[in-house]
């Protein structure tokens, strides 16, 4: 009985370590990748490119057309998924 209890506690604490590792490792990895990306040359230009939008591009009809089609595709896929699950809003 004592051996069984020792094995149980050992397995419990080893699983706990695995959970801690799998919960924190992605954040550590993302932090390392962020530091590496910011350290590259011309990183500030890339950040400005993504954070400062080009509003004149929105006047182009092709951009609006592409955006509209993306919205329609997303709505249709969502509708089909809801229909398959049998959800009925009443």
Q: Give me the long-range contacts of 48-53 (CB less than 8 A, separation at least 24).
A: none
Token readout for 35 is: 């530091």
Q: pLDDT (tens digit, 0 to 9) for every residue of the chain, 90 residues total?
A: 666 656 666 666 666 777 778 888 999 999 999 999 889 998 889 888 888 888 888 888 898 899 899 998 988 888 777 777 766 565
Strands (E), 1-90: none
pLDDT at 14: 66
pLDDT at 31: 94
pLDDT at 69: 92
pTM listed for this prediction: 0.44
pLDDT at 23: 85
pLDDT at 29: 94
Distances (CA, A) of 13 to 4, 18, 79, 81: 14, 9, 44, 40
d(CA 20, CA 70): 39
pLDDT at 5: 59
Q: Provide the 8-state DSSP code for 25.
A: H
- What residue spans define the domains of the chain? 1-52, 57-90
Distances (CA, A) of 16 to 2, 10, 47, 75: 21, 10, 39, 41
Token readout for 28 is: 């550590």
């Amino acid at each position: 009985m004592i051996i069984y209890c020792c094995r149980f506690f050992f397995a419990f604490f080893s699983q706990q370590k695995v959970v801690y590792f799998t919960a924190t490792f992605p954040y550590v990895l993302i932090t390392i990748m962020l530091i590496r990306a910011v350290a590259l040359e011309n990183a500030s230009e890339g950040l400005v490119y993504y954070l400062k939008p080009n509003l004149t591009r929105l006047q182009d009809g092709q951009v609006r057309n592409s955006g509209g089609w993306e919205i329609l595709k997303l709505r249709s896929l969502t509708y089909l998924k809801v229909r398959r699950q049998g959800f009925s809003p009443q």
